[in-house]
């Protein structure tokens, strides 16, 4: 799995927006942000595993409490929505959109301490 460091165009037609064979994936900078958040949450004992998927219309970073369960959260990048609702979304376990926006940093704020807590 290669990471492309070229910028994504808003329409998703750029090198890392559409990727090889029309697959959307994360840029290195975006993946770094996601992995920093993941590392903090693992250190806090909240999360245990993650999965990454590159699909034809979106890239998904799934977060798990246990590897055998359904994902607790999904961070999705959908370049087709970049000019409308924003390319980024955080979805909860039931598929409910918790936060949507144009910038990854803004969307990841949903996980800030004090604003959000995980319930068993």
* Residue extents of the structural domains in the chain: 15-111
SS3 labels along 79-90:
HHHCCCCCCEEE
Q: Residue 52: beta bridge partners?
A: 61
- The pTM of the full predicted model, rounded to 2 decimals, is 0.75
Residues 99 and 85 sit within 8 Å (Cβ to Cβ): no
Q: Give pLDDT tens digits along the chain (120 positions).
A: 444 444 444 444 444 454 556 899 999 999 999 999 999 999 999 899 999 999 999 999 999 988 778 999 999 999 999 999 899 999 999 899 999 999 999 999 998 865 555 666
């Amino acid at each position: 799995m290669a990471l492309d460091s070229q910028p994504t165009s808003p329409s998703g037609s750029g090198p890392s927006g559409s990727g090889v064979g029309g697959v959307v994936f994360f840029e290195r900078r975006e993946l770094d942000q996601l992995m920093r958040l993941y590392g903090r949450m693992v250190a806090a004992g909240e999360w245990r595993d993650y999965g990454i998927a590159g699909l034809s219309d979106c890239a998904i970073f799934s977060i798990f409490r246990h590897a055998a369960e359904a994902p607790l959260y999904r961070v999705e990048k959908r370049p087709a929505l970049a000019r409308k609702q924003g390319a980024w979304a955080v979805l909860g376990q039931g598929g409910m959109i918790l936060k949507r926006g144009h910038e990854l940093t803004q969307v990841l704020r949903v996980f800030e301490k004090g604003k959000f807590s995980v319930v068993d």
